[in-house]
Amino acid sequence: MQSFRTEFENPIVEKDIIDLEQKIRAFREGKIHDEKFRSLRLARGVYGQRQPGVQMVRIKLPFGKITFQQLLRIADVSDEYGSGNLHLTTRQDIQIHYVSLDRTPELWAELERDDITLREACGNTVRNVTSSPDSGINPDEPFDVSPYAQAVFKYFLRNPICQEMGRKIKISFSSTEKDTAFSYIHDLGFIPKINEAGERGFKVMFAGGLGAQPFLASVTHEFLHEDLIIPYTESVLRVFDRYGERTNRNKARMKYLVQKLGLEEVNRLVAEEVIANKSKIFKIDTGTVPLPAFPAPVAGTEGKPADEQHYQQWLDTNVFEQKQSGFYGVYIKIPKGDIKTDKARIFVEAIRPYAADEIRITQNQGLLLKFVRKEALLPLYNNLNELNFAVPGFDSVADITTCPGTDTCNLGISNSMSLAVVLENVIHDEYPELVYEKDLKIKISGCMNSCGQHGLAHLGFHGSSVKANGKVVPAVQVMIGGGTVGNGEGRVAERVIKAPTKRAPAVLRAILDDFAGNSAEEESFHQYYDAKGKDYFYQLLKPIADLSTLQDHEYVDWGHEETFETAIGVGECAGVVIDLVATLLLEGEEKLQWAGEAFERGAWSDAIYHSYSVQVNTAKALLLDKGVNSSTQIGIIREFDTHFIQTGEVVLPESFSDFVLKINKNEPTEDFAITYLNQATEFYKQMKAKRGVEVNS
């Protein structure tokens, strides 16, 4: 691995990249524990891929906003370091695949030249903050939520309170009550409101989530003033960091903490953290995300499209009038969410004369162009059509959301991307009228973890398997009845039946035909599903799922030629076995340094939180020496009291709980910061010396 250095205007970014390089080197030399290194690189957007020896790199694009130059930069980086492909995600990110771990610092440095970050795109952090892609131009929005999403992203990026949580946190901002950012399946979902006094605020949805066990979010505030959304979020993250599960990954989300403690108790703990917050109110600068410059008027656009019917269909399904008079938003359907880099470059030049320099990535893996003048629609359509980017039916039944599945994901069970193409072809070929149907969504995930959001689809599929004739058959779990209701309300799809994957088209035809033939006039799909009931659909699909009629080709997944096997991809190479306790103590020393640096620059709250982490990590190290492993930070604090303070083995002026939990009993002042830092320093030195004596005795 070659040493890498670069220079940036932002020294924090430079330090981040150099730190990643040093940590990779230490990992290669066996000096960093595998689990610790995994946590560190994930928080830098570097994710293990299904294929051995290569990584997926996720780029963090707050609320999906990207400029022409940024898209070109990412394309160049993908060519140099990856596979020459850009994958758009359901969280409005872009992913690059087949990247060497050793080259990730260089890759990150290249991206930062155009203000693009990898930081906290993966890992146990605040993930990409999403918003409705049409925020800022939606005719029905109370106000533009983009600056609020930007402020939340910026406030919590590199924030000590959310760097090493038990699991990830997902936050969304919807532009209207239609809730197109799906607040109901987020840890924190915000829907804009204006109260009777004319003040801005948000309805707050809390502790939702998909995954293998979906939970619908609860309302914590019908109206939370705009100045309080960041302080409230900070309090929530502090509670999750301290009380969230850390051992059992399957129970380490906010939804399980609420299930364990109850919503009322979690709300009480959140309120208790307010005193320690860096900001009691936080006024958000609504000018931080200005409207992009409008494209120049277009001359000489007379003429007719080659296919007038196709053009009109595109206008009807992919184009809408913005709240800014005379301008239009244009949605682009991206098959499978994949754009080859050579095509991305042509695309930028094709849209540059006609659209504003701000593209938004959408939750269904498409793109939104803004501020297209009416007279520019036809030439824009012609350019897009040459690239096959003028396919009608954006966000319709014919626009299927999918995760990468077994193409690249370690957890994938089936090939969701190929299945999506097959089902879209069925709709375009056999049900062309459904390209206008936007109230019925189809979503596919390669496994039960719902990266393709199958749990909130009207018709969802996730990868699975069944056994027949002594063989494993690739299958889909069919889920029906999910979707967005609005204003924070949503529905989780129900598991109905498993069917061989090759029969998914037959499942689709059966449901679409039955809906067309047996639903009442003006009845929505949700009303139709509720009226018929789950068993009706089980009986409808049971003959399709019958395994006694399997054909040879059904033992092979879509997009494959070999017989199906359920296999998890090989992970990254592991470091040698090392002393985990020593590693935790070494981390304590690093965190003390961070605390001191934060104090020196006047960041009292950051210094306090780093000092808190030193004490908890150090206590965890000594508990591990006794074979005691607690799954939460609050558990570590209590166990240390039990095994060290109450036994007299360690003497402190008070209980360890009182000693450490001063953090949420005091304002983050300079006086408290230095007192708490000194306390953490002395505790660390005392415990490190104690451990050294025990090891050497």
16: enclosing H helix or E strand: helix 11-28
pLDDT for residue 573: 25
Q: Which CATH architecture has domain 580-696?
A: Up-down Bundle (1.20)
SS3 189: strand
- 157 phi and psi angles, rounded to 5 deg: -70, 125
Phi/psi zone of residue 109: left (φ > 0), alpha (ψ -120 to 50 degrees), beta? alpha
Assigned CATH topology for domain 308-386: Alpha-Beta Plaits (3.30.70)
Contact 544, 466 (CB under 8 A): no
CA atoms within 13 A on the CB side of 418: 16
Distance in angstroms (rounded) separating the CA atoms of residues 239 and 274: 10
Whether the per-residue pLDDT at 4 is higher than 80: the answer is: no
Provide the Cα torsion 664, 669, 671, 673; round to 10°. 60
SS3 311: helix
List every span in the chain annotated with CATH 3.30.70.3340: 308-386
Kindly provide the b/e burial profile for residues 407-445, where b requires at least 16 CB atoms within 10 angstroms of the residue's own CB.
bbbbbbbbbbbbbbbbbbebbeeebeebbebeebbbbbb
pLDDT for residue 414: 77
CA nearest to 444, candidates 477, 490, 410, 474: 477
Q: Which of 123-127, 343-347, 415-419, 513-517 has the lowest mean pLDDT?
A: 415-419
**Token reading at 31:** 């000096």
pLDDT for residue 694: 61
Confidence grade of residue 574 (pLDDT, cut at 50, 70, 90)? very low
pLDDT for residue 390: 97
**Token reading at 517:** 């033939």
Contact 420, 444 (CB under 8 A): yes
pLDDT digits (tens, 9 = 90+) for 184-224: 999 999 999 999 999 999 999 999 998 878 899 999 999 99
pLDDT digits (tens, 9 = 90+) for 411-437: 777 788 889 999 999 999 999 999 999
pLDDT, the chain, mean: 91
Q: Which of 147-151, 368-372, 541-545, 586-590 has the lowest mean pLDDT?
A: 586-590
SS3 317: helix
Q: What radius of gyration do the chain's Cα atoms show?
A: 26
Distance in angstroms (rounded) separating the CA atoms of residues 46 and 53: 12
Q: Which CATH architecture has domain 130-276?
A: 2-Layer Sandwich (3.30)
pLDDT for residue 407: 66
Distance in angstroms (rounded) separating the CA atoms of residues 150 and 606: 20
Provide the Cα torsion 655, 659, 663, 666; round to 10°. 100
Confidence grade of residue 374 (pLDDT, cut at 50, 70, 90)? very high
**Token reading at 127:** 């993930």
Contact 557, 564 (CB under 8 A): yes
Greater confidence (604 vs 39) lies with 604
**Token reading at 592:** 């003390």
Contact 192, 141 (CB under 8 A): yes
Whether the per-residue pLDDT at 35 is higher than 80: the answer is: no
335: enclosing H helix or E strand: none
Greater confidence (342 vs 407) lies with 342
Domain 401-555: which CATH number of 3.40.50.150, 3.40.640.10, 3.40.190.10, 3.30.413.10: 3.30.413.10
Whether the per-residue pLDDT at 687 is higher than 50: the answer is: yes
For the segment 93-114, the average pLDDT, to the nearest whole number, is: 94
List every span in the chain annotated with CATH 3.30.413.10: 130-276, 401-555
List every span in the chain annotated with CATH 3.90.480.20: 11-112
The model's pTM is 0.92
Angle between helices 604-625 and 633-640 (to 10 degrees): 60
CA distances from 305 to 315, 370, 372, 623 (A): 12, 21, 17, 72
CA distances from 397 to 163, 400, 427, 460, 544 (A): 39, 7, 8, 12, 21
pLDDT digits (tens, 9 = 90+) for 41-71: 888 888 888 788 889 999 999 999 999 999 9
Contact 210, 456 (CB under 8 A): yes
pLDDT digits (tens, 9 = 90+) for 633-643: 999 999 999 99
Classify 11-112 by CATH class: alpha beta
CA nearest to 344, candidates 89, 66, 579: 66
Confidence grade of residue 450 (pLDDT, cut at 50, 70, 90)? confident
List every span in the chain annotated with CATH 1.20.120.330: 580-696
Distance in angstroms (rounded) separating the CA atoms of residues 333 and 331: 7
CA atoms within 13 A on the CB side of 31: 8
Amino acid at 224: L
Confidence grade of residue 564 (pLDDT, cut at 50, 70, 90)? low
Q: DSSP per residue over 111-140, as a string?
A: HHTTT-B-TTSSSSSB-PPEE-TTTTT-TT
pLDDT for residue 2: 47
Distance in angstroms (rounded) separating the CA atoms of residues 362 and 89: 8
Distance in angstroms (rounded) separating the CA atoms of residues 322 and 523: 29
pLDDT for residue 565: 60
pLDDT for residue 34: 76
For the segment 588-597, the average pLDDT, to the nearest whole number, is: 92
Task: Please give the order of strands across the beta sheet that includes 471-480.
Answer: 401-402, 442-445, 459-468, 471-480, 494-500
Greater confidence (563 vs 619) lies with 619
Above pLDDT 70, what percent of the chain? 94
Whether the per-residue pLDDT at 23 is higher than 90: the answer is: no
SS3 533: coil
- 297 phi and psi angles, rounded to 5 deg: -55, 150
CA nearest to 118, candidates 81, 146, 145, 165: 81
pLDDT digits (tens, 9 = 90+) for 110-152: 999 999 999 999 889 999 999 999 999 999 999 999 999 999 9
Contact 404, 446 (CB under 8 A): yes
Contact 174, 191 (CB under 8 A): yes
